Structure 1
Amino acid sequence: MARIAIVGAGNVGLYVGAFLHLAGCQVCWVGRTWLRKELEDAGALTVSDFYNHTFSIQADEVQFLTDISELVQSEEEVVIDFLFLTVKAHATEEAVQSFKHLDGKVVVVTLQNGIQNAEVIRKHMPNTMVITGMFPTNIVHLPGGHFHQASIGPIHLEDGEEASTLAQVFIEAGMPTQLTTDIKGILYGKLLLNLMNATNALSGVPLRTQLSDRSHRLVLARCIDEALACYRVANIKPLSFFTFPMWVVPYILRLPDWIFFQIASAVLGIDERAMSSMYDDLLLKRPTEIAYLNGEILKLAEEHGVSTPMNSAIDKMIRKIEAERPERPPSFSGDELLAMAEQT
């Protein structure tokens, strides 16, 4: 089976790696010391899918490194087929610096938020095959080394020979996967949905609760509308993950609750425990990915002269909380967030 290294063993990296390990792949994770200690204290790495099928890997079977230099001692000792990069987008550059000596010796797979990660990797590893992927689901970190899939959807991989091999590995491990010839369209479509990350972090409530509140839905609808306006002038065509195009999403979000719930129940699979990882970042005083989500929309807006007051307000508030590092991040109602946009 495939030999896989996962650099950035967080929620996504541990979840994906666990399923690959259970399917017989040789998996090695590289992550932070506190997370390795949590797995050791718990005695196992536990994962559960959206339907609560739960699996555990004993801690002594989890090959978890805290220093990437331990992964490969020399270029002659490379025994990795795929290197998955699952760090936050702001850490991509630093992470690539740590393994760029493997240029031409591994296939690198990026399963990250953001648009430009593959370009960053190729800049430093010009002889390496890079597969751009999109991991669609929310993974919640529960106590005791437990990582739970809180939403559903298939992994998307940029089409190619190596990607076809990897897709089969994912499918055999129980993770639905699709190949695409338009990975940019997929990433820009995912970016629209990822605009929920910051609004959820500012709401301070689970995603299902947030989406049950029409005022919070109006905030997200405005963020997506502004992003779509930028896309139109930049000639960016996002692909949809639904049975309808992405421009319909803001209209659905604005519907009265009773209609929204009927439609949303058919298209949204979200666990009651799901929250954006950006909330965890603010809670733990870690850098967020705001520059690569709403910030990406603001870059397009500046370049093409598009007004984006809602995204600007969200971006500004997340950065303010990052800078001030309060004991607990503040929570805002949808109406309060809408008012912020009027002041921008």
Structure 2
Amino acid sequence: MTDFFSWEQHTIFGAGLIGSYLGGALSAQGFQTTLICRAKAKSKLTSGLKLTDYQGHEAIIAKIDVLDDIQLSTPNFTIKKARFLWLTVKCTGIKQAVIDIAPLVDENTIILCCQNGLGSDAAVKQAYPENLVLRVMVPFNVVELSPGHYHRGSEGKLTIEQTPQSKVGISTVVMAIHSELLPVTTTAEMDALLWAKLQLNLGNSVNALADIPVKAMLEQRSYRKVIALLMGELLQVADALAITLPKVTAISAHKIPMVLRLPNFIFSRVANKMLAIDPNVRSSMWWDVSQGKSTEIEHINGAILKHAKALHIHCPANEKISSLIRALTNDKALDTDHKPPIAAETLLRLVTHK
């Protein structure tokens, strides 16, 4: 049986931007924390971490336990089993992660899936049917300002799924790990919350194609119009599935597209919180594209298309954006108009076929 009250020990598997910030915040709270990262990232983490956020909070972690993926896969290497195992790899890394985390898991391990998009937890549940697997919604962006310095550049509370099996224990854990640097809460309606987060994540692919910081992208109306089109299609699918999206920003889900379409001078006043983003923040998909990695497009825009197909709903904007991202990551030949940076008006024309 899972022991919720042994919550002092946390292991972060896949310590990139989000994972390193999460691990640092837990360590700053005094929890036993181990980061597991790629070998090439280990040196900057073993030198300690600095955490900051857009509200001015700060923490210095002089030392934190760090292992790399090579050590973890070494025969006869022994490691303490994880009590709380936070999976912060991207959706594209889940298939390999369920194999790699085996040395960390015993019958008491609680696995927390921190992926964008929909459905990536299914592989974890299938691989570890006896363990409690909970989904986690991470609403904020993290950037690395310098080696080992991780900065939370936007608002939102990390939200952990609350199930009948986890209700009492998870609430206790949340109370313990919540901090100014890492606001935490729970929800019993994770399906709807992930759809609401998915709506916000639709800006990720546009940011990758725009090739500019998120704040600068949102300051241009034509980019916002593209995002509004993507969101409108998601809302159509969610309504057909009878999913009521919770309010995760100051603006309700169905009003966000309308606000995004506003002229710049009105948008800057109405959506001041939406623009309260660190000017350095870029989306995770931008990072993937810029580094030639596989993206999460199939779990974000692609997830909408999968549901839309079953419902016989046409989503041309999401289809076009998905095809542009796939072409980039598949190294297909693209003309100049299709390669980042794609100007706002050009991208809007490509999406609307005008």
Task: Find the counterpart in structure 1 of residue 86 from structure 2.
Answer: 84
Farther off after superposition, 61-70 or 243-252: 61-70
Farther off after superposition, 223-232 or 101-110: 101-110
Q: Indicate conservation of the 8 Å contact 1:103/1:125, yes or no.
A: no
Q: Indicate conservation of the 8 Å contact 1:282/1:325, yes or no.
A: no
Task: Find the counterpart in structure 1 of residue 265 from structure 2.
Answer: 258
Seen in structure 2, the aligned counterparts of structure 1 residues 208 and 268 have a Cα distance that, compared at 3 Å, is: closer
Correspondent of 1:23 among 23, 29, 39: 29
Q: What's the offset of the Cα at 1:325?
A: 8.2
- 1:26-56 Cα deviation digits (max 9, x unpaired): 111111112113345xx33222111233333
| SS in structure 1 of the partner of residue 282 of structure 2 | coil
Where structure 1 has 5 or more consecutive residues not aligned to the other structure, the ranges are none
- Aligned-pair Cα RMSD in Å: 2.5
Query: What residue identity is the alignment partner of 2:65?
Result: Q
CA distance in 2 between partners of 1:172 and 1:309 (Å): 42
CA distance in 2 between partners of 1:99 and 1:44 (Å): 24
1:108 aligned to 2:107?
Answer: no
| SS in structure 2 of the partner of residue 324 of structure 1 | coil
| SS in structure 1 of the partner of residue 246 of structure 2 | coil
Q: What's the offset of the Cα at 1:73?
A: 8.7
| SS in structure 2 of the partner of residue 227 of structure 1 | helix
Q: Indicate conservation of the 8 Å contact 1:22/1:173, yes or no.
A: no
Query: What residue identity is the alignment partner of 1:21?
Result: S
| SS in structure 1 of the partner of residue 135 of structure 2 | strand
1:245 aligned to 2:252?
Answer: yes
Task: Find the counterpart in structure 2 of residue 196 from structure 1.
Answer: 203
CA distance in 2 between partners of 1:291 and 1:49 (Å): 30
Correspondent of 1:10 among 16, 40, 49: 16
Where structure 2 has 5 or more consecutive residues not aligned to the other structure, the ranges are 1-6, 334-338
**Aligned residue runs from structure 1 range 275-314, under 5 A:** 275-314=282-321
Task: Find the counterpart in structure 1 of residue 347 from structure 2.
Answer: 337
Farther off after superposition, 84-93 or 141-150: 141-150
Scaled by the length of structure 2, the TM-score of the pair is 0.89
Q: Indicate conservation of the 8 Å contact 1:20/1:173, yes or no.
A: no
CA distance in 2 between partners of 1:104 and 1:141 (Å): 35
**Aligned residue runs from structure 1 range 12-161, under 5 A:** 12-39=18-45, 43-58=47-62, 61-67=63-69, 70=72, 78-100=80-102, 102-159=105-162, 160-161=167-168
CA distance in 2 between partners of 1:73 and 1:267 (Å): 49
Seen in structure 2, the aligned counterparts of structure 1 residues 187 and 33 have a Cα distance that, compared at 3 Å, is: same
1:269 aligned to 2:280?
Answer: no
1:165 aligned to 2:168?
Answer: no
| SS in structure 2 of the partner of residue 242 of structure 1 | coil
Share of identical aligned residues, percent?
30
Aligned length: 339
Farther off after superposition, 95-104 or 79-88: 95-104
CA distance in 2 between partners of 1:8 and 1:232 (Å): 34
